[in-house]
Structure 1
Amino acid sequence: MIIDTLENAARYQGLGAKFVKAFEYLQQTDFNAVAKGKYEIDGDRIFAIVNEYDTIEEAGEQMESHRKYIDVQFVAAGEERIGHDFLGDKSPSRAYSDTEDYMLFAEKPAFYTTLRQGQFAIFYPTDLHMPNLRVAGPVPVKKIVIKISVQ
């Protein structure tokens, strides 16, 4: 996993052309003018999901992981806490769904990060993550999740 600010995106060009496209999209898009929804960047290889929500309590939440896509989670407005951990030898509490590309894990996160406006986190398939959590109380968040195909 990688956690940084969008102003440092050039540091990650070495991750490949798909990451370059993803960061260009984040840097060139005015998300104040973009509604919730799914937006293609490069077909099903790279796409963005724009979402708006209020942060939630951790109780009852589980960490997730994906196999087909890497997540680039960018906070355009607000702030949220994200729990995360390494997949390692953990067993899922909800088996992997190929159609939905995720599985769930009941373990508590080993680490927490607060993402604020202008910051992003990259979660690879071996990175468990529990996003959308409250920092202090519920706050509105606008977050863009860019899905980058592993293949």
Structure 2
Amino acid sequence: MILDSLAAAGEYEALGTGIALGLAYLRGFDPDTPDGRYELDGDDLFALVQTYDTAPATEKRFEAHRRYLDIQHVSAGTERILHAPQQDLEVDTPYNEADDIVFFQEPGVSSSFLLRAGDFAIFHPGDAHKPGCMAGGKTQVKKVVVKVRL
């Protein structure tokens, strides 16, 4: 997992073409972009723009992916994301190939961080994460998740 400010995104472009293109998209992202899916390179690279209210962590689930890595960027608001190594978790809902997602039971121990406007996080397969959690109180978040096919 990587957590940094979008201002420092250039430091991560060497991680691969898909990551570099995804970060470039986020640097030029217009916060007035409507929610929806935006293809950057077909199914190999696309962005999901979402607006939602954060919720208590007890209402969210740990998830992970196999075919795509996530670059998650908050353009407005703040959310708390919990994370844990996938190998430490018990599967709750088996892997769904069509949606590229597996859900996990709540672990005994996890870490968390705040994703604030202007920040991004990169989650590789193996990085289980629980996004959309409240950071002190319910708030609206505008978020872009760039999916990069591995």
Note the residue ranges of structure 1 that are not aligned, 5 or more in a row: none
State how far apart, in whole Å, the 1-side matches of 2:86 and 2:64 are: 8
The match for 1:67 is 66
The match for 2:141 is 141
The match for 1:123 is 123
Aligned alpha-carbon RMSD (Å): 1.0
State how far apart, in whole Å, the 2-side matches of 1:90 and 1:54 are: 26
Q: Secondary structure at the match of 2:113?
A: strand
Q: After TM superposition, which residue ranges in structure 1, 4 or more long, deviate above 4 angstroms?
A: none
Deviation at 1:89, TM superposition (A): 4.9
Deviation at 1:110, TM superposition (A): 1.1
Give a deviation string over 1:18-40, Cα, whole Å, max 9, x none. Answer: 111101111112122x0000000
Q: Kindly, what percent of the aligned residue pairs are identical? A: 39
TM-score by length of 1: 0.95
- Which amino acid in structure 2 is aligned with residue 17 of structure 1? T
The match for 2:9 is 9
Cα 1:89–1:112, aligned 2, differ >3 Å: closer, same or farther?
A: closer
Residues 27-38 of structure 1 mapped to structure 2, 5 A cutoff: 27-32=27-32, 34-38=33-37
Give a deviation string over 1:90-129, Cα, whole Å, max 9, x none. Answer: 3311000000110101123510001100001100110000
State how far apart, in whole Å, the 2-side matches of 1:86 and 1:51 are: 25
Cα 1:149–1:81, aligned 2, differ >3 Å: closer, same or farther?
A: same
> How many residues matched?
149
Deviation at 1:45, TM superposition (A): 0.5
Q: Secondary structure at the match of 1:59?
A: helix
